[in-house]
Every structure is written in structure tokens, then in C-alpha cells.
Amino acid sequence: MRTDQAGHAEIEMKASLMRPVMLLAEPTCEARIISDRKRVVFAEAEVTDESGRLVAKANSTFLVRTRTSGEDEASGHYR
């Protein structure tokens, strides 16, 4: 379920920093969903420098939670 009625909780995140990036450099980040199931989403991202060299990589797992009726996002009540 991917609607404005859904929230998420991060289950796990791992980031690896491979090399430094210069102060005024313009790194590029490309993120993608690896697996989008009913309740769990797996995602990854890669950051490259201006030369296209990999400088960082991250993987994350999210639990998709649906909002209960009558409750708003600020309340934090999800099921």
C-alpha cells in the first residue's frame, strides 16, 4: 500500500563511506527500490563524485505501516 495513508518505520540502515569528497564538489546520489513488498521495502543508494567514482553506498529496510482511521500523522499511531 503506497498512499498518503501510509507511514514507515526504519528497520535497518547501513552506510559505507568509501572515499572523501572535496568541499565544493557536487556529488550525485542515485537511489532505488530493490524490493517493494506489502509490508517491507528494501532500498539502496549510491553516491558518486564528479568523476563517477563511488564515494558512499547505503542499504535500508523499511516497515510500511498503515494509519488507523481517525488518527493523523502527527499522533504517530499506526498499525
Q: What is the pLDDT of residue 1?
A: 43
User: Which residues of the chain are under the pLDDT cut of 50?
Assistant: 1
Looking at residue 4, its pLDDT comes to 54
Q: Which domains does the chain have, with CATH numbers?
A: 6-67 (3.10.129.10)
Q: Residue 74: what pLDDT?
A: 58
* pLDDT given for residue 32 in this prediction: 96
Predicted local confidence at residue 35, as pLDDT = 92
Cell of 40: 517491507
CA dist 78 to 4, 13, 54, 69, Å? 13, 21, 37, 9
According to the model, what pLDDT value does residue 71 have?
A: 54
